[in-house]
Chains A and B, each alone.
Chain A
Amino acid sequence: MAETGNGKKEDADYKRLQSFPLIRHTDMPEEMRVETMELCVTACEKFASNNESAAKMIKESMDKKFGSSWHVVIGEGFGFEVSHEVKNLLYMFFGGSLAVCVWKCS
């Protein structure tokens, strides 16, 4: 886990080591947060090549579970500014390069 090392090997290494899901910012309550995070991980793993389907799956599940209406963005490079209902935002990283932002705003 030392940061200094061979370049390419290190890259590959870190991708493998850092592929755990990591929450960057959230204001969700505990239970909701855990459930949402797991859902995101499942979706991203299932649709590893297709962000749109993954986002669709997440959004539909969230709508069913927690009410409408949810918005999901998955990608590797984007900036955003959103208005969200308080206690309904999750912004997390996954797989070393993927960022997922889930928020609710009707």
Chain B
Amino acid sequence: MSVPHKVGSVKSKQVSSFVMQDEEEGLDTAEGEEWMQGKTLVKPPDQLDLTEAELNEEITRVLKASNPNAPQNVVRYSFKEGCYKPIVFVDQMAIHFELEGNLVHKDSDEGRRLMAKQAEVDDGGGDERPDNVSIKAGKREQKLTNQFNFNERASQTLNNAPRDISCQTEPPPRANFSATANQWEIYDFYVEELQRRVKSKEKHEGQFLNKEEDKSKKKMIQAETQNDDIYQLAKVVKIIERMVNQNIFDDVAQDFMYFEDASDEFRGEKGTLLPLWTFQYDKAKSLSVTALCWNHKYNDLFAVGLGSHEFTQQGGGMLLFYTLKNPSYPEFIFNTASGVMCLDIHEHLSYLVAVGLYDGCVAVYNLKKKTDQPIYNSRASSGKHTSAVMQVKWQKDDLDSNHNFISVSADGRVVSWTLVKHELVFTDIIKLPVIDTIPDDLKDVIPTVGTSLDFHKQKDYSFLVGTEHGKIHKGSKYYSSKFLEKYDAHFMNVTRVRWNPFHPDVFISCGWDWMVKIWDQTMKSPVFTFELKTSVTDVAWAPYSSTVFAAVTTDGKVHVFDLNINKYEALCQQKVVSKKTKLFNIEFNPVHPIIIVGDDRGHVTSLKLSPNLRKKPKEKKGQDLPKGPEVEIAKMEQLLSSLR
């Protein structure tokens, strides 16, 4: 309760009366001055009666800076000590008047804000200063835009109306199944299972001798019965197929193994060929056999190359593998883009087959792989032949242990192909010399067609090439510029040239000029010449004798000769195929006394040689029968010397 007082403080009641008195006196005096006459003192009714002496008493008044309204002693309760404590210093300030001002210090936050606002308003849209100011003012500052220079506009694009689309997938297929689970059913099933296992155990015990193998096989069987059955069947089916075939061709198989034509004794020198199996494949009907080759490792397996000899009738080709154990269906079938002209099976790695095609490509097939495609193909590589490949022959692995083979083709080049990693690398060995009748400027264009190629058995760098013009060239792998020898062999195409497997100097050739000629490489003219009545398409030496060979002609006949017995005539001339079928290839089996011949209908016929054709020289009494290649060489040498 601050009562605004004028300056000066009034203290006690005592004084108040005096004040009043003073006031009165003042008034009085004032009034007294005006009214000088009336000196009557007007006394208020409650005025103190004081004596004169008391009236004259001087009372001192002291002005202090202490607030009379403030309490003199203040006591506060102290919670800390739990008792009342007097406060010594009492606030003496009395506020008479208060007014709140609106001045702000310019460096304070509010001041700065105000200054910023003012600056903006002053400039009205200048970019820099507001930015600066706003930076100064802090990041939270929003850019204030005035309504005159800035206008907000908003619009809403058309929202596509929402659509509901639902879809139900087809549930996974379901099936019903029902069964009963009884004790006896369970028992029955277990009993069956055990019986099955016993049977298969017996089967395997019969086949394997080793007991340990047995156990592992048993485990295998247990696991396999739960596998897919189809793949299990493949092997079994194959064996059954062979068994069925054997049953069907039982008489043929018996003949093959055991039959020796007894009538040979009565026939003098002559022999016969007993036809055994015929191999044919439906899809190869329109193709003719162009190449045959026995497999060295598996003596019952042979390869047949199918294509076409006619220039005008070129289509696809096939490579088939037959085994004598299954004459009705080939073991391996490969389709080729163009007709197969020649093939060769590697001597040691009997799963590698080199094939030469009519379009000039060479390809290598791997029989171990399940694919239909060759593992190497020269289709894309440079250096491939531009014309049909007539002959391919495997060579020994080169210094880097890479397999390689050599091919001769109708473009006149003899090329060596090396199997390097994934591709075929070619190397030109030699080019067949062009004959003289062709004018010089055409020599590069018209090649000499090479038709046959053979490598010497012992000296495998030496080889023979037969040409379309009837010449045979002898060359060596070490001389790439020219040939060592040239033989004027035939008047027409040389279809085959082959070294004698035993004698190092002898080779045989045959051609379309109806001739078969036997040569000694040291002599320019043939040692023996035979004329067969039609074009001779193939000739082959027998692997068991150096003097026996067989030839096939286009009239479907096979001619077998043994020079040791008869130097002028064939021991056997037999027609083995039906009318108008031409024979194109003949091959002797390396082990068994059979030959296979291929004809232009795509059929391969196997024939057994009768004993007369397989004669060994007669043993002299008391002497052991000499065997081995030396004997053969000696035989041949004898013959040759008689002619020189």
Chain B: interface secondary structure? mixed
Whether the pair A78, B177 counts as a contact (CB closer than 8 A) is no
Docked pose: A18 CA to B190 CA in angstroms: 6
Docked pose: A23 CA to B190 CA in angstroms: 10
Q: Which of these, B175, B179, B182, B198, contacts A91 with CB under 8 Å?
A: B179
Q: Which of chain B's residues has its CB closest to A78's CB?
A: B181
Docked pose: A4 CA to B226 CA in angstroms: 28
Q: How far is the CB of A28 from chain B (nearest CB, A)?
A: 11
Whether the pair B186, A99 counts as a contact (CB closer than 8 A) is yes
Q: Which of chain A's residues has its CB closest to B181's CB?
A: A99
Q: Which of chain B's residues has its CB closest to A22's CB?
A: B193
Whether the pair A103, B177 counts as a contact (CB closer than 8 A) is yes
Whether the pair A76, B183 counts as a contact (CB closer than 8 A) is yes
Which residues of A have CB within 8 Å of B177? 25, 81-84, 89, 91, 103
Chain A positions 22 through 35: 1 when the CB is less than 8 Å from some CB of chain B, otherwise 0:
11110100100110
Instruction: Judge whether A101 is part of the interface by a CB distance below 8 angstroms.
Output: yes
User: Which residues in chain B, 157-185, are within 8 Å of chain A measured between CB atoms?
Assistant: 171-183
Instruction: Judge whether B227 is part of the interface by a CB distance below 8 angstroms.
Output: yes
User: Which residues in chain A, 59-74, are within 8 Å of chain B measured between CB atoms?
Assistant: none
Chain A positions 1 through 22: 1 when the CB is less than 8 Å from some CB of chain B, otherwise 0:
1010000000000100110001
Contact A93 to B194, CB < 8 A, known contacts A85-B173, A86-B174: no
Q: Which of these, A17, A30, A77, A82, contacts B181 with CB under 8 Å?
A: A77
Docked pose: A61 CA to B73 CA in angstroms: 88
Q: Which of these, B175, B182, B193, B227, contacts A83 with CB under 8 Å?
A: B175
Whether the pair B172, A86 counts as a contact (CB closer than 8 A) is yes
Instruction: Judge whether B478 is part of the interface by a CB distance below 8 angstroms.
Output: no
Instruction: Judge whether B266 is part of the interface by a CB distance below 8 angstroms.
Output: no
Residues of B in contact, count (CB < 8 Å) = 24
Q: Which of chain B's residues has its CB closest to A26's CB?
A: B226
Docked pose: A89 CA to B180 CA in angstroms: 15
Instruction: Judge whether B243 is part of the interface by a CB distance below 8 angstroms.
Output: no
Chain A: interface secondary structure? strand
Whether the pair A80, B178 counts as a contact (CB closer than 8 A) is yes
Q: Which of chain B's residues has its CB closest to A17's CB?
A: B194
Q: Which of these, B171, B173, B190, B227, contacts A14 with CB under 8 Å?
A: B190
Docked pose: A80 CA to B180 CA in angstroms: 6
Whether the pair A25, B179 counts as a contact (CB closer than 8 A) is yes
Whether the pair B194, A1 counts as a contact (CB closer than 8 A) is yes
Instruction: Judge whether A97 is part of the interface by a CB distance below 8 angstroms.
Output: yes
Docked pose: A80 CA to B187 CA in angstroms: 18
Whether the pair B173, A22 counts as a contact (CB closer than 8 A) is no
Docked pose: A104 CA to B241 CA in angstroms: 42
Docked pose: A22 CA to B180 CA in angstroms: 15
Whether the pair B181, A101 counts as a contact (CB closer than 8 A) is yes
Whether the pair B198, A93 counts as a contact (CB closer than 8 A) is no
Docked pose: A27 CA to B186 CA in angstroms: 19
Docked pose: A3 CA to B228 CA in angstroms: 30
Docked pose: A30 CA to B224 CA in angstroms: 11
Q: Which of chain B's residues has its CB closest to A100's CB?
A: B181
Among B171, B180, B186, B193, find the residue whose CB has the most chain A CB atoms closer than 10 A: B186
Instruction: Judge whether B191 is part of the interface by a CB distance below 8 angstroms.
Output: yes
Docked pose: A27 CA to B174 CA in angstroms: 12
Whether the pair B189, A85 counts as a contact (CB closer than 8 A) is no
Q: Which of these, A1, A79, A85, A97, contacts B186 with CB under 8 Å?
A: A97
Which residues of A have CB within 8 Å of B226? 23, 33-34
Which residues of B have CB within 8 Å of A99? 181, 186
Q: Which of these, B173, B176, B194, contacts A18 with CB under 8 Å?
A: B194
Instruction: Judge whether A48 is part of the interface by a CB distance below 8 angstroms.
Output: no
Whether the pair B190, A86 counts as a contact (CB closer than 8 A) is no
23 contacting pairs across A/B (C-beta < 8 A) = A14-B190, A18-B191, A22-B189, A24-B179, A24-B189, A25-B179, A30-B227, A77-B183, A78-B180, A78-B181, A79-B178, A80-B179, A80-B180, A84-B177, A85-B175, A86-B174, A89-B177, A93-B186, A96-B186, A97-B186, A99-B181, A99-B186, A105-B174
Residue numbers of B with Cβ under 8 A of A are 171-183, 186-187, 189-191, 193-194, 198, 226-228
Residue numbers of A with Cβ under 8 A of B are 1, 3, 14, 17-18, 22-25, 27, 30, 33-34, 75-86, 89, 91, 93, 96-99, 101, 103, 105-106
Closest 4 CB pairs of A and B: A99-B181, A81-B178, A79-B180, A18-B190
